[in-house]
Amino acid sequence: MFSDDMRVVRSTVTFTDPTHSSLYTEHVNALRAAGGRSEAAVASMVIARSDAPPLLIKFVPNIGPAATSIESLSGFVVLRPVEAYNNVSESRVRAAFNLTASEARLAARLSSGATLAEVADDLHISINTARAHLRTIFQKTNTKRQSQLIALLSSLA
């Protein structure tokens, strides 16, 4: 699971890339600050690794019934390697990230390996509309690049 790009030092996950370290720390601090409140949101990030497939890291708040049995835990950090392209259903994408139907269609088609231009053509929308949807999808999924989005979506397949 761990690689040259990522290590555990004194019970703390560290990354060679300072941007990854900063984002990871930000998400962990958000979990701690939420303190089991129901408004806490699940967050995720994708780490590209030089010697292994990308790694999906999910930050899941400890709310509901589990919170009462493990009260001192603010949340869980789940790590999962991301494999190659997978098709993912529109309904699953929509539910996981609160996307609109149009955004979910675009995201699901991208997850199959199609380019943005191909997806725009298939959906009979302009490339500018596709880009606008993609920007919104990036915001809702906390990703910044198509490769990160595809890696994240493959975890739902």
**Domain termination residue (choose one: 22, 57, 81):** 81
**Total domains, the chain:** 2
Please tell me the predicted confidence (pLDDT) of residue 104. 94
**Domain termination residue (choose one: 23, 53, 81):** 81
Categorize the per-residue pLDDT at 41 as very low, low, confident or very high, splitting at 50, 70 and 90: low
Q: How much of the chain exceeds pLDDT 90, in percent? A: 22
CB 79 within 8 A of CB 56: yes
45 is in which domain, residue-wise? 6-81
* 1 lies in some domain: no
Same domain (yes/no): 73, 106: no
Same domain (yes/no): 43, 61: yes
Same domain (yes/no): 74, 127: no
Same domain (yes/no): 73, 94: no
**pTM for this structure?**
0.51
Q: Above 70 in pLDDT, residue 84?
A: no
- What is the C-alpha to C-alpha distance for residues 41 and 31, in angstroms, rounded to an integer? 9
CB 33 within 8 A of CB 59: no
* pLDDT tens string 105-137: 999 988 877 789 989 999 999 999 999 999 999
- Name the strand (E) or helix (H) holding 149: helix 146-154
The CATH number of whichever domain residue 115 belongs to comes to 1.10.10.10
* pLDDT tens string 85-96: 556 888 989 998
Same domain (yes/no): 122, 149: yes
- Token code pair at residue 132: 């606008």
CB 27 within 8 A of CB 142: no
Same domain (yes/no): 29, 75: yes
